[in-house]
Amino acid sequence: MTFIRNVEDFVCGHCGASVRGTGYTNHCPKCLWSKHVDVEPGDRADSCGGMMESTALEGSTPSYRIVHTCLKCGATRRVDVASQDSPESILALSGKLASK
């Protein structure tokens, strides 16, 4: 399947931040949470709709990926860290994981 670019603004279901979409935005840049809406990136074909917690940070500089886990169905997705993502949230995610 081919990536489908959807330019959509949204309000984060976790922290309430207003997010301006770029067509590639798939998570909140403030808290790093996402919403389970895609089967393939951009298709909006998944009916789950559950909130996806950022549960892990994988990779190394400059290619970090955020692992999201759906709190409703347990699905796991990986997504690249975006340039607009909060450095503090990324550091907090890596620190949270280091303390486990």
- Is 54 within the bounds of a domain? yes
Amino acid identity of residue 95, one-letter, is G
Spatial distance between the Cα atoms of 34 and 69, rounded to a whole number of angstroms: 9
Strands 65-70 and 76-80: antiparallel
Both tokens of 36, joined, read 């389970």
Q: What is the pLDDT along the chain (100 residues), one digit of tens a residue?
A: 577 787 889 999 999 999 999 888 889 999 999 999 998 888 888 999 999 999 999 988 788 999 999 999 999 999 999 999 999 999 999 876 554 4
Residue 4 counted as domain residue: no
Q: How many structural domains comprise the chain?
A: 1
Is the residue at 40 inside a domain? yes
Q: Report helix, strand or coil for 92.
A: helix
Give the predicted TM-score (pTM) of the model.
0.86
Domain hosting 63: range is: 10-98
70 located within any domain = yes
- Residues 85, 92 contacting (CB under 8 angstroms): no
Does residue 1 lie within any of the structural domains?
no
Residue 5 lies in a domain: no
